[in-house]
Amino acid sequence: MSKSEIIMLVIGFTGQFMFFMRFFVQWLYAEKYRKSIIPVAFWYFSLGGSFCLLTYAILRKDIVFIVGQSTGSIIYLRNLYFIHKERERKLYEND
C-alpha cells in the first residue's frame, strides 16, 4: 500500500470516527437528560466528519459522495451560525 493510499484511509476513517462521535455524544446527552437533546458538539463533530469525508471523496473522485458531503457541510455550518447568534443575542439581553 502506498503512502498516499494510507493517508487517504486515515482521512476517511477520521471522518467516519467523527460521525460516530456525534451520535455517541448525542446518546450520552439523551441518557443524562432523559430526552433527546442535540448538543453543540454534535454539530462540530458533524462538520469535522463531513470535511474529512469530503476530502476523502475528492481524493477518490467520487461525485456522489462529494455532493452529499458538500450539502451536509452547509447545513452543519448554518446550525452552528444559529447557535452562536442565539448565544450572542442572549448576552446582549443580559447587559
Model confidence over 67-91: pLDDT tens digits?
A: 888 888 888 899 899 999 999 998 8
* Contact partners, residue 62, CB within 8 Å, separation at least 6: none
CB atoms within 10 A of CB 78: 11
Number of CB atoms found within 10 A of residue 76's CB: 21
pLDDT (tens digit, 9 = 90+) per residue, 14-43? 988 888 888 888 889 888 988 878 889 989
pTM above 0.85, yes or no: no
Per the CB < 8 A criterion, the answer to whether 29 and 6 are in contact is: no
Q: What is the Cα–Cα distance from 15 to 17, expressed in whole angstroms?
A: 5
Contact 93, 71 (CB under 8 A): no
